[in-house]
Amino acid sequence: MSITDLTSMAKPEEEAKEDINEVLNGLKEDVPSFCYQCGKCTSGCEAFILLELEPSKVMALAKSGFIEELKDSDVIWTCLTCLKCKERCPQDLAPVDVLFALKNLSVSSGKQIDSGISNMLQSVLSSGMIQKPKEVRDHKNEGVNREDTGLPECPKPSQEELAKLQQTLMKVAQEKLR
Ligand code: SF4
Ligand code: SF4
């Protein structure tokens, strides 16, 4: 059974939901005192330009109590977990942790995870890679692959290594759903 099956077949777990709500309620109380909307997290966010993620806005909305709306928003899935917001915040806050809490809350309430993420997980489970090596376009708009540039073939995990990776990922997923 894949992680996608596990998450899509999962029923909302009230206990997990309560735990996450507790975290978010804590955040709601803490965030207003510390986040002063300087915007440093958003100005350095790797997902801002292309994916329109604004961690400072997420903090402002969390601060105002719009937890349900944030949890149902697709934008929370665009975070790349680069951790720059955590590094840049002058107030030692971590918008990335707020985003993680929201994603956990979203999954535990039965919402389907974003298809891009589930495709990536499927690919990791079946091949050990986020995606297969792709042909890219050069400056003359011609397709170039690894072989054309003299790069060796991408190393692939053995069946044994793949089985170990699958077991570990499933264990992590099951622990998260507990
Ligand atoms: S960098 Fe910190 S204080 Fe500034 S907006 Fe982001 S979370 Fe708030
Ligand atoms: S961890 Fe997520 S929210 Fe924070 S800067 Fe990186 S992409 Fe943006």
Give residue-wise pLDDT tens across range 62-117: 888 888 888 888 889 999 999 999 999 998 888 998 998 888 888 888 887 778 88
On whether residue 7 sits in a domain, the answer given is no
Q: Which ligand is nearest to the CA of 99?
A: 2
On whether residue 99 sits in a domain, the answer given is yes
Mean local confidence (pLDDT), 117-134: 86
Q: State the distance from the centre of ligand 1 to the C-alpha of 34, rounded, in angstroms.
A: 8
Percent of the chain with pLDDT over 70: 79
- 85/90 Cα distance (integer angstroms): 10
Nearest CA to ligand 2 atom 5: 45
On whether residue 156 sits in a domain, the answer given is no
Mean local confidence (pLDDT), 6-15: 52
Q: Which domain holds residue 44?
A: 12-108
Q: Which ligand is nearest to the CA of 76?
A: 2
pTM: 0.70
Look up residue 31 and give its two tokens: 């965030």
Average pLDDT, the chain: 82
Q: Give the amino acid at 146.
A: R
On whether residue 98 sits in a domain, the answer given is yes
The total domain count for the chain is 1
On whether residue 58 sits in a domain, the answer given is yes
Q: Which residues line ligand 2 (CB under 6 A)?
A: 44-47, 53, 55, 79-85, 95-96, 99
| pLDDT of 30 | 63
On whether residue 150 sits in a domain, the answer given is no
On whether residue 68 sits in a domain, the answer given is yes
